[in-house]
Copies of this chain bind each other. A is one copy, B any other.
Amino acid sequence: MDLGMELEQSAALDAETKIAEAPGDHKAELRLWLRLLATNTLIETEIRRRLRERFDVALPWFDLMAQLERKPHGMTLSELSQRMMVTNGNVTGLVDRLLAEEIISRRQHKSDRRSYIVSLTEKGRRQFARMAKEHEDWIADMFGGLSHSEFSALTKLLGKLKASVRSAVADV
């Protein structure tokens, strides 16, 4: 997704030279979002391509496995859907397919009969370990153009942005 409003690359727009904007002018915010979006899409497309090429695995599968890997005792489908930031129905379908491949297993919750716990099988753990190793290198490779300090600055700023978005979404 790239909302196509990418503004002129006027290099002059920084904190020093920026003139007070007209009220209701949100070009800077828009520009920032578009840049975030484009960057994210670039990375995601490339990761998807490499996962398919190297491991014949779809990105949502990797995502699901990554979640389970951190929780050796497994988790419920609801928790999974929250962590993956997708709907419950989506997770139901994914779980079905990963079960069929014996990458994950599923058991009834002990006390809540509505609920299931899914976790990685041994096969799933092995496969994920191989993928995670390369995946880390891909990311490091793509991010290699940034210095140490740019890194930590960007991480910090994104944390702030995330918090800002969260609070705006929360109190609608």
A-to-B contact residues, CB < 8 Å: 1-5, 13-15, 18, 26, 28-33, 35-46, 59-60, 62-63, 66-67, 69-70, 83-86, 136-137, 139-146, 148-169
Contact = CB atoms under 8 A, between A and B. Distances in A.
Contacts of A142: 164-165, 168-169
Contact of A161 (B13, B31, B154): B154
Contacts of A153: 15, 153, 157
A139 B42 contact: no
A85 B4 contact: no
A146 to B, nearest CB: 6
29 contacts: A1-B63, A1-B86, A2-B83, A4-B63, A4-B83, A13-B155, A15-B152, A18-B148, A26-B139, A28-B152, A29-B136, A32-B143, A33-B139, A33-B143, A35-B159, A36-B43, A39-B161, A39-B162, A39-B165, A41-B85, A42-B162, A42-B165, A43-B165, A142-B165, A142-B169, A143-B164, A144-B168, A145-B164, A145-B168
Nearest to A143: B29
B26 A137 contact: yes
Contacts of A165: 39, 42-43, 46, 142-143, 145
Nearest to A140: B26
Q: How many copies does the complex hold?
A: 2
The interface residues of chain A, by DSSP majority, are classed as helix
B154 A15 contact: no
